């Protein structure tokens, strides 16, 4: 939500148009290409059907939504009933994919890296080998305090 606000604010006043995809009727589209059906027939929604959230964000007027769909979207030469029927489902899937990618990236970001060579090929030192290290080299040995060992350069931290 914050991003959307920021997006419209930075676009400036004179660009507050609402666009729809003439192929699938999606109104949450970019200005050049529909994010759902990849269609490039992007048209400005007539002012009549637009209302503004917080005076900034153009959205489809809910009360006139049906009329808009019947009188504008469905009569468009590029209108494609298949995409129209499935667009919500598809955008839902895309959202889930996006969430997956995001959580994957987050996981990736949490993967520990070797501080010296940046390798992610590292080994978590088990409690067992820590204990062995501790008895063999004394409690203050580096191994005893380390948690990870880099398999690439051998650094331990
Ligand atoms: Zn579309
Ligand atoms: Zn390393």
Q: Residue 144 pLDDT > 60, yes or no? A: no
132 CA distance to ligand 2 middle (Å):
22
Q: How far is the CA of 151 from the centre of ligand 2 (A)?
A: 7
- Of the listed ranges 7-21, 36-50, 124-138, the one predicted with least confidence: 124-138
**What's the gap in Å between 73 CA and the centre of ligand 1?**
11
Return d(Cα 72, Cα 22) in angstroms, integer: 9
CA distance linking residue 146 with residue 122, whole number of Å: 12
The Cα 21–Cα 36 span in angstroms is 9
DSSP secondary-structure letter at 55?
T
Measured from the alpha carbon of residue 79, the closest ligand is 1
Average pLDDT for 25-42:
86
pLDDT confidence of residue 4: 59
| In the chain, % of residues over pLDDT 70 | 76
Distance 141 CA to ligand 1 centre (A): 63
Residue 128 Cα distances to 60, 123, 133, 152, angstroms: 62, 13, 9, 22
Measure the CA–CA gap between 91 and 102, rounded to whole angstroms: 16
Q: Does the pLDDT value for residue 130 go beyond 60? A: no
Least confident of 12-21, 59-68, 105-114, 136-145: 136-145
CA distance 152 to 123: 10
- Region 128-151: what's the mean pLDDT? 61
Round the average pLDDT of the chain to a whole number and report it. Answer: 82
Distance CA 21, CA 42 (A): 5
Strand partners, 58: 52
Which position has the higher pLDDT, 4 or 26?
26
Ligand 1 centroid – CA 14 distance (Å): 24
Dist. CA 20 → ligand 1 center (Å): 8
- Ligand showing the shortest atom-to-Cα distance for residue 115: 2
Over residues 6-14, the mean pLDDT reads 54
| Closest to 108 in 3D by CA, of 100, 116, 150, 93 | 100
C-alpha 7/C-alpha 44 separation (Å) is 18
8-17, 28-37, 115-124, 137-146: the lowest-pLDDT one? 137-146
């Amino acid at each position: 939500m914050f991003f959307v606000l920021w997006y419209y604010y930075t676009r400036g006043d004179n660009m507050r148009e609402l666009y729809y995809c003439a192929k699938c009727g999606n109104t949450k589209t970019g200005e050049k290409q529909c994010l759902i059906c990849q269609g490039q027939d992007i048209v400005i929604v007539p002012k009549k059907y637009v209302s503004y959230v917080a005076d900034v964000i153009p959205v489809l007027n809910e009360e006139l939504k049906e009329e808009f769909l019947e009188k504008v979207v469905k009569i468009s030469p590029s209108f494609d009933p298949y995409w129209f029927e499935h667009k919500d489902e598809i955008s839902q899937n895309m959202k889930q994919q996006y969430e997956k990618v995001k959580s994957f990236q987050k996981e990736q970001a949490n993967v520990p890296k070797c501080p010296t060579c940046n390798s992610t090929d590292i080994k978590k030192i088990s409690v067992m080998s820590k204990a062995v290290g501790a008895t063999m080299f004394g409690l203050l040995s580096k191994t005893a305090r380390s948690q990870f060992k880099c398999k690439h350069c051998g650094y331990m931290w």
